[in-house]
Structure 1
């Protein structure tokens, strides 16, 4: 089942964060305007995108292994295998996943997001994280909010400006989750790449893409009132559980997984 607005057309005259990220990951579902942004970014941006994606895989697999069988993934992006549902349904075939993204091109690829195991299920809604109410309303038709849900917000909130109040947006989503749920979040930063801060910000600004990289102290409030799972709020290559330690490298993302009390 897909939910969205099929009448929406992909605007190929303006770059979109999901398509730029697709290019950074080596995908082909992007346009010249997106590639122009990606090509201006330093090589570290492509490397950091891959490290962030690997974190998502590790975190999703760990949550599924802990018994979580419901996932709400906001800011899904263009499908790049393995997708979140492929990761978690390999561990728990009965897992159910709702994907949400605001880019119409993701809707075009929704079929790839909806290939579920017979025991489980996947669903998709075209919606913006700023419209948390609509996302939650739809998610409740597919997920059981009386049981834990893992909310995933990967490489998303640095596209929400301070004026749009990203902390309140996140809190409104987390507050809707029952006790025992989890928030998985990764957020762009230049703390370990201070020499790149100016060029990255300029490149996105020239592409008319809002970008607000944040420091560790500024990312911490996204987890306010939650219990961070060890190792806590760390960079992307430092977060792992029962897998071999990733190669520790400089990272452009802070990441964390936290439990809802």
Structure 2
């Protein structure tokens, strides 16, 4: 990838590290070095990221099956293979997707990947500023806020330290009843040692320190939404395609997943 003078290439980016975990090519040496350091501490990290991506796919398919074909993907990272627009389009070609990320590299490569697709766009905004996101011209033009929208917050809220509930409430209030909230979130439950080391690594190396949360804390984020069965569960347990896909020890994936429908 070409280096850009306005990008700090001395510090890893959570979005690009995640891209590396998933086998993507949109990352720098500093991101790969940190990812390998994290994997050395926690060898199951790539499996956890794959389980998270599998949850995203199932959640998007769930929303489309229920007639929701508009997606606002907050903290989207780089839309590599199997991301929201590909999954949604496979289920319904009319689906519309807005990707939102604050990382300039993630946004630049997202624009390259998406090209001039009229039903998909990416904007560089901070999800922690809902008013800026919701008033962005590309968002307003592509999404119809009179119809249900799926608000995606997948593997991103653990990078939000202050008032995640208040941030979610702002997006909740902007979308109509029948909209969905899709969340996956890192948790320390069952993985205390590795989780502590991982959290410390992100605190030291990136501009986006992690805050892992408990099941009860994640459930509290769904105020105003009715949780879809099976509620807040470990990643592999959210509506698996088959029982064969469920690991004997789902807690080892250290991530919680849930989908809620706005009342």
Same fold (TM over 0.5): yes
Q: 1:130 aligns with which of 121, 128, 131?
A: 128
Q: Does 2:176 correspond to 1:178? A: yes
- Tell me the equivalent position of 2:21: 24
- Tell me the equivalent position of 1:153: 153
Answer whether contact 1:192 1:251 (CA < 8 A) is retained. no
In structure 2, C-alpha distance between the alignment counterparts of 1:38 and 1:258, rounded to whole Å: 31
Are the structure 2 counterparts of residues 169 and 8 from structure 1 closer, same or farther at C-alpha, using a change threshold of 3 Å? farther
Answer whether contact 1:8 1:104 (CA < 8 A) is retained. no
Any stretches of 5+ residues in structure 1 without a counterpart?
1-6
- Per-residue CA deviations over 1:219-254 (Å, capped at 9, x if unaligned) read 11111121011111111000016x324222322211
Are the structure 2 counterparts of residues 93 and 115 from structure 1 closer, same or farther at C-alpha, using a change threshold of 3 Å? farther
Are the structure 2 counterparts of residues 180 and 114 from structure 1 closer, same or farther at C-alpha, using a change threshold of 3 Å? farther
- Tell me the equivalent position of 1:4: none
Are the structure 2 counterparts of residues 174 and 8 from structure 1 closer, same or farther at C-alpha, using a change threshold of 3 Å? farther
- Tell me the equivalent position of 1:14: 11
Answer whether contact 2:155 2:186 (CA < 8 A) is retained. yes
Question: For 1:152-231, what aligned pairs fall within 5 Å after superposition?
Answer: 152-161=152-161, 164-208=162-206, 209-231=208-230
Q: CA deviation at 1:197?
A: 2.2
In structure 2, C-alpha distance between the alignment counterparts of 1:70 and 1:220, rounded to whole Å: 24
Are the structure 2 counterparts of residues 114 and 230 from structure 1 closer, same or farther at C-alpha, using a change threshold of 3 Å? farther
3-state SS of 2:198 partner: helix
Any stretches of 5+ residues in structure 2 without a counterpart?
none
Please give the root-mean-square deviation of Cα atoms over the aligned residues, in Å: 1.7
In structure 1, C-alpha distance between the alignment counterparts of 2:235 and 2:76, rounded to whole Å: 18
TM-score by length of 1: 0.90
3-state SS of 2:190 partner: coil
Q: CA deviation at 1:115?
A: 6.2
- Tell me the equivalent position of 2:113: 112
In structure 1, C-alpha distance between the alignment counterparts of 2:116 and 2:181, rounded to whole Å: 24
The alignment of Structure 1 onto Structure 2 pairs a total of residues equal to 249
Answer whether contact 2:219 2:232 (CA < 8 A) is retained. yes
Larger relative helix fraction:
2
Are the structure 2 counterparts of residues 48 and 115 from structure 1 closer, same or farther at C-alpha, using a change threshold of 3 Å? farther
Answer whether contact 1:100 1:124 (CA < 8 A) is retained. yes
- Per-residue CA deviations over 1:14-41 (Å, capped at 9, x if unaligned) read 1111011111112221122212221121
